[in-house]
Structure 1
Amino acid sequence: MNPLFEYFQHNHALAKIEYAIMTKSSCLTLEDFDLEMLPESVLKCEHLGELLLAHNKLQSVSLQINSLKNLHTLAIDYNNLDRFPNELKELTQLKFLNISHNPIKDLTEHIGCLTNLEHLWCNACCLSAIPNAIGNLEHLDTFGARNNFISQISPGVCKLVKLRWLTLDNNKLTSVPAAFENLQSLIHLNLAHNHFNSIPYTLCKLKKLRYLLFQSNELFSINESVLLKMKQLYKINLMNNPISSNKETLTKFNNILLPGANFEAPSQDVESDSDSESTSTDWEDSIGSSEIDFGRSEEASDDEDAPVDVLPKLSKYLLTY
């Protein structure tokens, strides 16, 4: 990295922290500062509610992070964490946690300590399993663990009775446990890009389910009796499956998205409930990141031998008073 840019970047990060301390700010954004460790001065931000640390080089989290008693949102996605930060177990007040895009192989049982979590994102880590302790997160509303290596859904997931959005896209799943029917609050379920050879009958028992993403699995045929019991769904996406179905079957179910089918979203007054979000198009497709995973534009490559490249990078430090 160019030394000039590194100097400005380091000092700008410290200045932002000092400003947050001085103004008693509730939000601190330190994204894309190439931080290898969390500056100790962050721990002096006593009023901090949101700490956004995406796109850095963090390999660990400060042992004293539990001193941030008001912290409810923590985004540490796109870093270099190779283990779940056990230091977080003391942050029992956390409601939003994003650890996506870190080479974390195991969430560990400590995830069960965060009993107030409402949104948990661990997309594109290296997870092969989800610990049963996740069942302790009784307030969990949104859980995303797409692009991992998960081959089984742990029984703990089936205890998340308030869960409304579950994304397990692009894993190694072949089935769901029978207790999956306990997820009676589930509205959106993404099981695309796995290895299912049939739609699990258990999904028929999810009375609030409205969107099922099941594309790119290994379905060769459709069980019509299952689909008949899923009439309340607004969309069942079965694209990119090796399905052979006759025209009569395709026309019978207007909530199925298949090659050759005339998809027509059914009217959304079927078993309508008071939850207006269940009829929102925001629920239809899984998002690649979470609402606390703030996007950023890709920067130009960092070429240390080309000083001209420093100027665009430095431009973000130019302030107008």
Structure 2
Amino acid sequence: MKIVLLFILTLLTHLVTAQVHIWTQEEAQKAKFHVDMLPITYEERSSDDAIDLVQKSLDIVVPKDVNPGISVITQILVNQQGSVDYIIFHTEAKGYNNDSLNQVLKKSFVQHVSEWKSVEKLQKPFRSIMLMKFGKQIVKRQVRQTDSSVVNIETALAYKDSLKIKRIFFNQLELKTLPTVIYRFPNIEELYLSANELNELKIDLKRLPRLKQLHVDGNRLTNRSLVLTKNKSLELLNLKSNKFTNIPAAAKACKNLSSLWLGGNKLTDLSNRSFRKLKTVQDLNFYKSELAVLPKGIKKMKNLGVLDLYYNQLETLPASLTKLKYLTQLAVSNNQLKELPEQMDKLANLNTLYAHHNKLSKLPQSAAKLKNLNILDLGYNWFYNFPPEIMALDSLHELDISGNNLPEFPSTVVQLKKLDKVYLRGNPFTEQDVEKKYASQLKTLKGNKVEVFY
């Protein structure tokens, strides 16, 4: 009897896991897998449940102190019933037999998937992508060795003509404190402290009066642990992938700051007050910062020209965004946006709009007045009808409306006089014989030297 029960249990487990595709990235490529071509739309978002599944699958087979280190990038697709449809993973591991390692990981994924179901009440299927690192990671240092740069502390200490040095590359040196040797070089313009182990950092910029770029990305700095003295030299401040929850006061100490990059931090404390004293900033990067709301105080950044909000959880954009009259590039892709601000026409200088991978099904009427728009990417949204506002965009050179629900070829695009490229892949009409059914439109576009991707 026990043998029969065991056989039935094994059979049931096989039936469950047989429906789940667990592939390495290479296997997925051979199978010509692409998530955007699946019949189900998977909403991209983070999931504690999915992270827990992947973490448990990896923890049981990969020691945390493994040396050399191992990195695993995992993509998991979960259906509306809370079960896994696909797991696709890629390992980055030097000094190992990758085939054997992949088999071990795949076996562990199979074992854990058979026991797993999301505890969330799902409204829609979702996709999560995560990177997990184990042990000591081997990262190749990226430095520019020139006559005007130093790339390690030993060289910096021994260098004689200190006034000649313009760049210091102290990235990826496992630094826990700031090497004071940097102050030997008063003429430096670029300082790289990226990918170290800095928990706190204080720099006296009075002693580095010509410093224009400071890169401290990939450390462990917080709002209070970064201290910069007041200065008028710093133009670019790279704070990506630290532990900031807000724009730190250190950024506001830089009176001529032009570029502020905070992507990869969890900016959970961002508020209207956060944007004060940042009027000189022209380039703001909030890439992958777990933003659910963009505070309306963004309007205080009056000189902003480039705003990167890629990979957040924004469902709306504040109306105040349209007060950024110098904005030329707006990147809001990979969010949850259902609409764009009503008064888009106020962004008179906007030339590039990336809004792919959202939930847009229409454009505001005012979008028709964006006369300087050159690039418009609306791919992988929910458009059923071709937005008529696009036809008024006289300066449009590149249009991407791939991966939507257009049932027919948008014939009106032939009227866009300056169009150079149009992307139409992944719409229902592309499943037909496009070249035969829409031969006339394609001929006109190609006659106008427009590249058509379908």
Of stretches 119-128 and 57-66 in structure 1, the one that deviates more from structure 2 is 57-66
Write the letter of the residue equivalent to 1:97. L
Distance 2:230 2:447 in 1: 50
The equivalent position to 1:56 in structure 2, one of 219, 223, 229, is 219
Normalising to structure 2: TM-score of the pair? 0.52
Q: CA 1:99/1:233 → structure 2, altered by over 3 Å: closer, same or farther?
A: same
The equivalent position to 1:122 in structure 2, one of 277, 286, 300, is 286
Q: Where does 1:279-298 land on structure 2 (aligned, <5 Å)?
A: none
**2:353 aligned with 1:170, yes or no?**
no
Write the letter of the residue equivalent to 1:114. L
The equivalent position to 2:194 in structure 1, one of 31, 41, 44, is 31
Deviation at 1:65, TM superposition (A): 1.4
Q: CA 1:160/1:266 → structure 2, altered by over 3 Å: closer, same or farther?
A: farther
Write the letter of the residue equivalent to 2:423. L
Deviation at 1:136, TM superposition (A): 1.9
The equivalent position to 1:95 in structure 2, one of 216, 241, 258, is 258
Native 8 Å contact 1:13 1:33 kept in 2: no
Structure with greater strand percent: 2
Distance 1:247 1:187 in 2: 22
Give 5+ residue unaligned stretches, structure 1.
269-321
Residue in 2 that maps onto 1:228 = 391
The equivalent position to 2:424 in structure 1, one of 242, 258, 273, is 258
**2:319 aligned with 1:155, yes or no?**
yes
Of stretches 75-84 and 58-67 in structure 1, the one that deviates more from structure 2 is 58-67
Normalising to structure 1: TM-score of the pair? 0.71
Q: CA 1:78/1:125 → structure 2, altered by over 3 Å: closer, same or farther?
A: same
SS in 2 for 1:148: coil
Of stretches 19-28 and 98-107 in structure 1, the one that deviates more from structure 2 is 19-28
Residue in 1 that maps onto 2:276 = 112
Q: Where does 1:135-284 land on structure 2 (aligned, <5 Å)?
A: 135-223=299-387, 225-246=388-409, 248=411, 256-259=422-425, 260=430, 262=442
Q: CA 1:12/1:170 → structure 2, altered by over 3 Å: closer, same or farther?
A: closer
Distance 2:322 2:345 in 1: 8
**2:295 aligned with 1:131, yes or no?**
yes
Deviation at 1:52, TM superposition (A): 0.6
RMSD over aligned Cα atoms: 3.0
Distance 1:152 1:247 in 2: 27
Residue in 2 that maps onto 1:276 = none
Deviation at 1:235, TM superposition (A): 1.6
Give 5+ residue unaligned stretches, structure 2.
1-134, 137-152, 155-172, 435-441
Higher RCO by CA contacts (8 Å cutoff, separation 6 or greater): 1
Deviation at 1:106, TM superposition (A): 4.0
Q: CA 1:70/1:247 → structure 2, altered by over 3 Å: closer, same or farther?
A: closer
Native 8 Å contact 2:175 2:198 kept in 1: no
Native 8 Å contact 2:232 2:255 kept in 1: no
Q: CA 1:18/1:67 → structure 2, altered by over 3 Å: closer, same or farther?
A: farther
Q: CA 1:130/1:112 → structure 2, altered by over 3 Å: closer, same or farther?
A: farther
Distance 2:288 2:184 in 1: 33
SS in 1 for 2:298: helix
Number of residue equivalences: 262
Write the letter of the residue equivalent to 1:183. L
Write the letter of the residue equivalent to 2:367. L
Of stretches 35-44 and 186-195 in structure 1, the one that deviates more from structure 2 is 35-44
Deviation at 1:93, TM superposition (A): 2.1
Distance 1:174 1:247 in 2: 22
Q: CA 1:171/1:265 → structure 2, altered by over 3 Å: closer, same or farther?
A: farther
SS in 1 for 2:276: helix
